[in-house]
Amino acid sequence: MAKPTENKQYPLRHYVNIMFLISFIVLILDFAISISAISIVKQQATRYLQDTAGLYLDRINHDFAYINHYTGWTLANDESLKAMTTSPMNSREFFEANENLHKRFTELQKNYGQEYNFFVYLKKQSFFLNCAPISISYSDYQALKEQIIANARQDRNVYEKLYSKWTPVRVNGKFYITNIVPYYDSYMISLVSADNLIRPLREINLGENGFVSLIAENGQSITSPVSNRGQVLNDVPQASSSPGLFQAGTTVNGQFTNATFHVKLVIQFGTFEKIMIAQLLILLLAVIITCSLGFILLYFRNKVLRPIKNFSYNLAFWTEEGEPLEFQGSKIIELEKANKQFLNLIGQIKKFKIDLYERELEKQRIQLDYMKLQIKPHFFLNCLTSIYSMAQMQMHEEIERMALSTAKYFRYIFQNDGDFVKLGDEIEHVRIYLEIQQHRYQNALAYRIEQEENLAETEIPPLVLQTFVENAVKYAVSRVAEARIELAAGLQLDAGEERLVIRISDTGPGFPPDILEKLQSGVSLEQTAGTRIGIMNTLQRLDSLYDKQAAVSFFNKEDGGACVILSLPANVAAGTNRSVAL
């Protein structure tokens, strides 16, 4: 026979040693993974920023080349510019040529941005003017004009040496990038602000203290270094002296084509150093906690762990009736007291849940009965008043029909004290109500009721429709013109669910704006002096009976009159309290 295997048991110290070994291995692995991850992320971030900057430099080089070619072609071939050089300044031909030139460069400016400015200088006529809308201040414009005219008069070779070269110039303490193309005694000047030129590069995230700047041939920065947080750096941050992985900053230089300056990007990686230090601290803290827990487990193994295990075992077992089994004894007084208190607490919770459930049911029943009582009495006085008025006018036949309709009306109310009735009985009750109102108002009221044939057995709360119809009669009927009330009931599918949709509308003045706004936003109406109780109580009944699954919408029709649409679940849950109309 095979010898049964036995599970070898080890002391707690053995598991603590294993835990220390695993923690040390995890520490080494995490440190290596962290170094590799930071190195890879740093390289990828640098490569991404270099590629992004390279794409922008390529676009600027393309713009520079095209603008340079366009201005050179204009000087050599444009008929408008030729007309300006050969016509008197105050002549019609000169102004028309200037206007045509301005239109051409305005289109060029639209293509390359409003930051580019274009000027023309005719040395013989001493004429200097912008060829497109300018984006620089007037003082800078005047200073630029004086500087260009002075240089052209002194030495024309200066511009010929710089032909096709974009060069930084200082105007009123600001740096601009200019391109001056000479052609005999005519000059085309293109100008853009140095800060505007590199604004897109400043939107790149280069780190907390990273920045981008334009550098001239002499090493001078022609733009103010701005950090990623948008702050101007007075002292340019220096890269960290730590080599390799822990080096905080990386500098990337990009050269423009046909330009006497280049762009410098300083990428600060201080965040990676912080991540490394934070991880080391976390790992050190984990080692300290692991050692502390090991000593604590060794000390409290017999004093605390075993009694707590027994206590947990007792809590885990219950009888089929939901009662806890008898608890095993514990050597710890506090746990023994907790056992007894837990048994007592279970009994109190069960009793409290039963009491709370019964009170909630009673509260809902009382609330529903109260709301229905509020709805029932207010129509009775109106009927008695109408019969009294007919008796004064000796309208005996009308009194008979009115009394019979009133008797049917209140018989329905008193015989239906449940929460739900059949839709067919409820609509018949509404029809009787409208006949009573026709007796009162004679020819001032007309109505129409439409109902799908298969809806007669569908159940809805009693007196819901009568409340909204009564409201329509109250505010729509007048002695001036005939009011028309319509009621339509049908089924609709909403998200796969079959719902009963009932529409009640009239031709009256509609809801007042303030009342309609409150009804549409779900704000309770003020029920002062006993008014507006019917609608608010009906909405509360629908919420209670349908568990907030009912929807009621209010609006005014475009051709006049109020409209109410009820959307109710077509299938009422089984077990709901129902009544049968007799």
The most confident of the ranges 147-156, 455-464, 542-551, 553-562 is 553-562
Q: What is the pLDDT of residues 144-203, one digit of tens each?
A: 888 888 877 766 565 555 566 888 988 988 899 998 888 888 889 999 998 888 888 887
Distance separating alpha carbons of residues 396 and 188, to the nearest angstrom: 107
**% residues pLDDT > 70 (the chain):** 74
What is the distance, to the nearest Å, from the Cα of residue 514 to the centroid of all Cα atoms in its chain? 29
pLDDT-derived band at 554 (thresholds 50, 70, 90) equals very high
The residue among 98, 94, 114, 105 whose CA lies nearest residue 132 is 105
* pLDDT (tens digit per residue) in 499-549: 999 999 999 888 999 888 888 888 877 655 445 557 887 888 888 888 888
Query: Cα–Cα–Cα angle for 388, 429, 415, nearest 5°?
Result: 90
pTM of the model: 0.43
DSSP secondary structure, 19-39, as one string: HHHHHHHHHHHHHHHHHHHHH
Helix (H) or strand (E) holding 199: helix 199-202
Q: Which of 343-357, 403-417, 435-449 has the highest mean pLDDT?
A: 435-449
The whole-angstrom separation of Cα 529 and Cα 264 is 79
Phi-psi region of 394 (alpha: psi -120 to 50; beta: other; left: phi over 0): left
Query: How far is CA 166 from its chain centroid?
Result: 47
In degrees to the nearest 10, what's the CA dihedral of 379, 383, 388, 393?
Answer: 130
Question: Per-residue pLDDT for 406 more than 70?
Answer: yes
**pLDDT at residue 263 greater than cutoff 60:** yes
What's the mean per-residue pLDDT of the chain?
78
pLDDT reported for residue 496: 80
Residue 118: pLDDT band (50, 70, 90) is very high
Please name the residue ranges forming H helices in 376-509.
Answer: 378-392, 396-415, 423-441, 464-476
pLDDT of residue 489: 93
Q: Is the pLDDT of residue 3 over 80?
A: no
Rg of the chain, C-alpha, whole Å: 45
Q: Is 60 exceeded by the pLDDT of residue 373?
A: no
Model pLDDT, residue 34: 73
Could you tell me the two tokens for 517? 């706004």
Q: Pairing mode, if any, of strands 249-255 and 421-422?
A: unpaired
Residue 457: band (very low, low, confident or very high) from pLDDT cuts 50, 70, 90: confident
Taking alpha carbons only, the member of 477, 462, 389, 377 closest to residue 422 is: 462
Residue-wise burial string across 9-32, b where 16 or more C-beta atoms lie within 10 A, e elsewhere:
eeeeeeebeeeeeebeeebeeeee
Which is more confidently placed, 1 or 253?
253
Higher local confidence (pLDDT), 514 or 389: 514
Residue type, 258: N
CA distance 417 to 496: 33
Closest CA to 281 of 500, 27, 504, 38: 27
* Exposure letters 254-286 (e unless 16+ CB within 10 A, then b): bebeebebebbbbbbbeebbeebeebeeebeee
Q: Quick check: 71 and 190 in contact, CB under 8 A?
A: yes
Q: Judge whether residue 239 has pLDDT over 70.
A: no
SS3 461: coil
How much is the pLDDT for 504?
94
pLDDT at position 330: 55
Give yes or no for a contact between 235 and 227, defined as CB atoms under 8 angstroms apart: no
Do the Cβ atoms of 256 and 166 come closer than 8 Å?
A: yes
User: DSSP letter string over 34-86?
Assistant: HHHHHHHHHHHHHHHHHHHHHHHHHHHHHHHHHHHHHHHHHHHH-HHHHHHHH
Residue of 234, 176, 177, 236 whose CA lies nearest to 206: 236
CA atoms in the 13 A half-sphere facing the CB of 183: 20
Provide mean pLDDT across the span 124-131: 88
Euclidean distance between the first and the last CA atom of the chain, given in angstroms as a whole number = 84
pLDDT > 90? residue 334? no
Distance separating alpha carbons of residues 348 and 342, to the nearest angstrom: 10
Predicted pLDDT of residue 1: 46
Q: How confident is the model at residue 577 (pLDDT cuts 50, 70, 90)?
A: low
Confidence (pLDDT) at 345: 79
Q: Within 10 Å of residue 61's Cβ, how many Cβ atoms?
A: 17
Most confident of 255-264, 557-566, 573-582: 557-566
> Do 273 and 41 form a contact (C-beta atoms < 8 A)?
no
- Report which of 231, 94, 117, 92 is spatially closest to residue 171, judged by C-alpha positions: 117
Cα–Cα dist 210/227, whole Å: 5
Under a CB-based contact definition with an 8 Å cutoff, are residues 489 and 455 in contact? Answer: yes
C-alpha 461/C-alpha 315 separation (Å) is 47
Amino acid at 295: F
Identity of residue 381: L
Would you give the DSSP letter of residue 222? S
**Comparison of pLDDT for 314 and 571, the residue scoring more:** 571
Q: Which two tokens stand for residue 165?
A: 């070269």
Tokens representing 430 are: 């509404």
Question: What span, in angstroms and rounded, lies between the C-alpha atoms of 554 and 540?
Answer: 16
